[in-house]
Amino acid sequence: MRIFDPHIHMTSRTTDDYEAMYAAGVRALVEPAFWLGQPRTGVRSFLDYFDSLVGWEPFRAAQFGIRHHCTIALNPKEANDPRCVDVLDELPRYLAKDGVVAVGEVGYDSMTKEEDEAFTRQLDLAKEHELPIMVHTPHRDKAAGTKRTLDVVRESGIAPGMVVVDHLNEMTVKMVVESGSWAAFSIYPDTKMDEDRMVRILQEFGTDRMLVNSAADWGRSDPLKTRKTGDAMLAAGFSADDVDKVLWRNPVEFYAQSGRLDLSDLKTDETFEGNSVLRGVRKDA
């Protein structure tokens, strides 16, 4: 099983995680810029973080056979802090980098006026730099926040196919699918979404424009949730090709719209024994 995790915060993870991810089949990932648990108090903190996303972290990932790309943005939570907002002026030079494949995570946390302004400005930056955009949906008041997100995206004139709307659940998936944007799901140990619920969503809505991620970060999370979702799909009767589409070809197709996705020289052949067995079972069935 080859896996592209389209949303994972590796800055917060250990080298053990990189090893386990490689063993599970992860060969490429995207690390979106987000907050770090401890609020930042100034622009310089963002710049060191962004530099790490285009510098040290891709090097660290490469040591474990995993290709690292990132997205860059002012996240919605910190868009509310006037000490941080000026980082928006620094974004263009990062959006010119090879490893940056989208603008993100943008969107709403508490749906404030400040969040509105940062969101709109960054939608414009995405258009200007011809990059896809990753939109975070709020954890509180999610359905209303997702609806407002889709309205803002529509008004911006950006092509729906250039947008992924993330952290969806049973209440928000339908409106995103109908909008023509990509629908993404963060599979967590016990909150946002789990692998069995994910399988039911794929059964109902199909595999087109669907992305599955672990969104693993510094909170309780599991960087192998992509693999576990693939296993759950197989157990539920999806084919190995369906799994490959959701866990590899879909994220590749979405981020390739940046023109910057570099997957050359990656070893994506089968190396994981358990997976070959599962595939064998599926083919015989």
Question: Which residues bind to another protein, rule: CB under 8 A?
Answer: 54-56, 58-59, 93, 96-99, 259-260
CB 71 within 8 A of CB 134: yes
Cβ closer to another protein: 54 or 235?
Answer: 54
Cβ closer to another protein: 52 or 156?
Answer: 52
Cβ closer to another protein: 58 or 145?
Answer: 58
Does a cis peptide bond (omega within 30 degrees of 0) precede residue 105?
A: yes
d(CA 111, CA 245): 34
Smallest distance, Å, CB 72 to another protein? 11
Give the position of tokens 């023109």: 259
Q: Please, which residues have CB within 8 angstroms of residue 16's CB and are 6 or more apart in sequence? A: none
Cβ closer to another protein: 70 or 162?
Answer: 70
Smallest distance, Å, CB 66 to another protein? 16
Smallest distance, Å, CB 229 to another protein? 31
Smallest distance, Å, CB 128 to another protein? 12
3-state secondary structure of 215: coil
Smallest distance, Å, CB 141 to another protein? 37
Smallest distance, Å, CB 55 to another protein? 5
DSSP 48-86: HHHHHHHTHHHHHHHTTT-EEEEEE---TTGGG-TTTGG
Q: Please, which residues have CB within 8 angstroms of residue 143's CB and are 6 or more apart in sequence? A: 171, 172
d(CA 233, CA 240): 9
Cβ closer to another protein: 15 or 110?
Answer: 15
Q: CA dihedral defined by 163, 168, 33, 259, rounded to 10 degrees?
A: -30
CB-count burial class (<10 Å; 0-12, 13-18, 19+) for 178 = exposed
Smallest distance, Å, CB 53 to another protein? 9
Cβ closer to another protein: 55 or 274?
Answer: 55
Cβ closer to another protein: 50 or 108?
Answer: 50
Smallest distance, Å, CB 97 to another protein? 5
Cβ closer to another protein: 98 or 241?
Answer: 98
Assigned token pair, 48: 């060191």
Distances (CA, A) of 248 to 32, 90, 95, 120: 18, 32, 24, 30
